[in-house]
Amino acid sequence: MNELELKYGCNPNQKPARVFMEQGDLPFKVLNGKPGYINLLDAMNSWQLVRELRAATGMPAAASFKHVSPAGAAVAVPLSETLQKAYFVEGVELSPIATAYIRARGADRMSSYGDFVALSDECDAQTASFLKREVSDGIIAPSYSKAALEILKTKRKGTYLVLQMDPAYQPEKLERKQVFGITFEQQRNEVSLTEDCLQEIPTKNKEIPASAKRDLLIALITLKYTQSNSVCYTKDGQAIGIGAGQQSRVHCTRLAGNKADVWYLRQAPQVMNLPFREDVRRPDRDNAIDVYVGDEYMDLLGGDDWKRVFTEKPPVFTKEEKQAWLATQKDVALGSDAFFPFGDNIERAHKSGVTYVAQAGGSIRDDNVIETCDKYNMAMAMTHIRLFHH
């Protein structure tokens, strides 16, 4: 099949809509559900991301996409006991691909609500069972076990979108798209992101351990498929904060840093011991946690509102307690899809525990950025690779 008619394009008024191949067949099969225009944009971008993560790290990889940018991405690094509890999978022996997706989904659970899932490896029954409990629009993977497919076909009253991607598919070197009736053409961005791009380290601290190199590569590959400008904070094999599509790079750094802070605050004892009611739905629990770690907890859960989610009213997580907990965050990696123009980005990154940085370099203020890294004993690699994505 080389053409697939769609219900509509980005919006219901944009009809007709279709995807098609000028030569050959479409590289994916629809195993369940009916794909939409944005579903397929998410599917094709997220598939490329997990495929490259798999190639770069040799580990199963997963991504959680929303509106053509990742909310989370990860490889199958085993979960610590703390993260098992934070991700609500305590005592469960997880398969590698399930671990990768649980990490990807755990990066920013609020943004992952209604996500599109990408897996680098076969979807097994455990991953499908975990996914069945989550609010999600669809999934793309190279294959599915029989049990996994049966589980996924029951999701969303049988309408859950399941796509099977041909892992051998290689697109043409040139890619085209139209904007306002004008055709744009460019060579595909096939730059290879490996540890070789992390060799130039102009900072005084030149020590980047293997785990940090892995995390920097995860950040850079994630950024390759994130709407620019973008930055990505990573730790322990997963994204923990992604800032996408901002006009100012420091706003990206702040946005992603705030998400990284929330990710870490979710692991604080005050949050891990919240007394949730047993009948609270997963999205409501996640929203309550984000409110609890925010600065407006007293306003948003004041009066008797707390009774909707908690068995007893939790004590306030004070600003001082949050700052003390965030001060223990360390060894975070930070990637940028282009150069940092000023040291203010590094100042903000330091507040979220960043120790390792990878960025393109080439700004007239590189010296200021290097000096700021040296101020905090960060190790920074200059890749000389820009990763804009539009």
| Catalytic residue positions, numbered | 66-67, 229, 390
Q: For 359, which DSSP code?
A: E
| Cα 172–Cα 177–Cα 178 angle in degrees, nearest 5 | 155
Looking up tokens 């802070």 gives 261
Reading the block at residue 268, the tokens are: 């604080």
In terms of Cα–Cα distance, which of 233, 260, 228, 220 is closest to 244?
Answer: 228
Query: From CA 231, how far away is CA 252, in angstroms rounded?
Result: 6
Looking up tokens 């099969």 gives 29
Query: From CA 71, how far away is CA 115, in angstroms rounded?
Result: 8
Work out whether the CA dihedral 110, 346, 77, 45 comes out positive or negative: positive
Work out whether the CA dihedral 330, 331, 332, 335 comes out positive or negative: positive
The CA-atom distances, in angstroms, between 274 and each of 108, 136, 264, 279 are 19, 25, 15, 14
